[in-house]
Amino acid sequence: MSLSLSLFLTFLLFPFLSFATPLAFYQHPSSPATALFRRQNTSLPTVGSAAWTALYPSESGTPTTIPQSWLDALAAAENRGLIPSISQSTLDATTGVTTYPDGQDPTGTEVCSFTYQCNVTTDIVNPPEGVIALTFDDGPIPGPSDTLYSFLYNNSQHATHFMIGVNILGAPTQFLIAFGNNKDHIGVHTWSHPYLTTLTNDQVVSELGWTVQIIHDSTGGLIPSCYRPPYGDTDNRVRAIAEHVFGLKTVTWNQDSNDWTIGEGTTEEVVEGSLTNWVVNGGGVQGEGLLILEHELMDTTVQAFMGIYPSMKEKWTVKTVPDAFSFTWYQNGNSSTTPAFPLSVASPAPTSTSTPRAPTSTIKSAHTSTVTASASKGSMAQTGSTSRITASHLLGLVALGMTSVTLF
């Protein structure tokens, strides 16, 4: 679909839409994070233009080009003992389940794989009682996302969208609606939607980093605060890379709607029944709120949400993820309506003799997976106006400040 046709269809759904340009951002040279923002937004191409598209990887799958500053940050974290030595998992293409070699226990405290429903204490998973943290994965996608964004806008409802980098690249109009018009919260869902635990450390950095990059460049310099692993496939190695290279919190879920399997083994009625059980009948985690895995992947997944939304508003307080868990929307911004603010660097930095942090793990239940390898669907509370970042992930974000003439 051409960009002009996409815009025409969008204005049919959003008749009063006025695209907000990315927020202006400028960091004073005295800021300790000036290197992050040498690329001021006045030098960036318009979001959706050919020049903007040319800034990002065009290859399919995990990008093979990785900025050296990200690799330097990864090496610094590894040298400080912050990245656990956990083997890459292997994906069973039939079941969609990842397994580990050498007898490593995916449910143990060393690995703690969320594929097996293991959460660590720093995972974002259980909102306060009475609160729904509203999330949608896999956007933006022309069609389903347009319908969803129009519905959210008309109901004055903000949500967290965990977006795929290549989808932002392919659907900039929809991205600008979610961020610029709706002022919704944008999180990271990797560049190409892989099983993260099957990747090398460098590949994990590439998947997260390029998504952070395109969000940063297209929002006026805002740096995402959190990511959600595709298929929920994360472990303590991936968590540590996300945290220590890019400062990202790990967001999982406490209920899985399985909405993305509608038409592939699940019916709309089954999904709607699950949502009704949790939202209306109180069938979720006792004493906790709801963080439901939902998708803006297809018309049917969006319809399932829109059908249950009136009950959500009647019985619950519905918030974005950062609002539900009381941390800032972005590492350097309080919302999608306020400019980026300077980052301060945490001190002192870990020494080379530091030992990895060993977060407490919790197992919710035995894992039963219904995902397939062919599917392409694509605590840490922080408040106030200043984020603190470690020296290692400052290095990882330095490449965000390069000029638009010479990338990395």
Q: Kindly list the catalytic residues.
A: 137, 295
Residue 236: HSE in the Cβ half-sphere, 13 Å Cα cutoff: 27
Provide long-range contacts, Cβ within 8 A and 24+ apart, for 276-285: 276/308, 276/311, 279/132, 279/308, 279/311, 279/312, 279/315, 279/316, 280/308, 280/311, 280/315, 284/254, 284/255, 285/126, 285/254, 285/255
Cα-to-chain-centroid distance, residue 121: 19
What is the residue whose two structure tokens read 């389903």? 144
DSSP 239: H
What is the residue whose two structure tokens read 């919302």? 335
Name every residue whose Cβ is closer than 8 Å to that of residue 347 and which is 6 or more positions away in sequence: 391
* Residue among 396, 125, 96, 61 nearest 254 (CA): 125
Q: ∠ CA(282), CA(286), CA(289), 5° rounding?
A: 75
Distance between CA atoms of residues 142 and 144, nearest Å: 6
